[in-house]
Amino acid sequence: MGAYINPETEGKEAFLRREGEKVEGNLEWERIPKGFLPVILVDNLMFTAAGIAYSKKELEEFTNPNDTRRKEYYLVEKNKLYPVSNLESYLKEG
């Protein structure tokens, strides 16, 4: 299923606008600043999802050119993601 944000007190979009830094252009795993993770806001037509790319493999899946859904990319400090996501369980697995 993957790691996703789901804030209880605000929408995903509001959280990302407040806490994230929007990224334009290509997002490369090697260029992500220490202490940050990419969060990809994916438009699924009926709803949006905000997936956390917690590994290089996850980022590659989110940026697959065959996936034509509209996406916005953000960098968010990792410590700000823990309270609004299931990220911790995925980091323990890896």
The full DSSP string for 7-64 is -SSS-HHHHHHHHEEEE-S---GGGSPTTEEEEEEEE-SS-EEEEE--SHHHHHHHT-
Largest CA distance in the chain: 34
Q: What is the mean pLDDT of residues 54-71?
A: 94
Distance CA 34, CA 31 (A): 9
pLDDT band for 93, please (50, 70, 90 cuts).
low
CB proximity list for 30: less than 8 A, separation 6 or greater: none
Q: What is the mean pLDDT of residues 48-71?
A: 95
Q: What is the pLDDT of residue 25?
A: 85
Q: What is the pLDDT of residue 1?
A: 56
Q: What is the pLDDT of residue 94?
A: 46
Chain segment 6-57, per-residue pLDDT in tens: 999 999 999 999 999 999 988 999 999 999 999 999 999 999 999 999 999 9
In this structure, what token pair is assigned to residue 13? 């979009």
Q: What is the pLDDT of residue 89?
A: 86
Q: What is the mean pLDDT of residues 75-85?
A: 96
Distance CA 79, CA 69 (A): 28
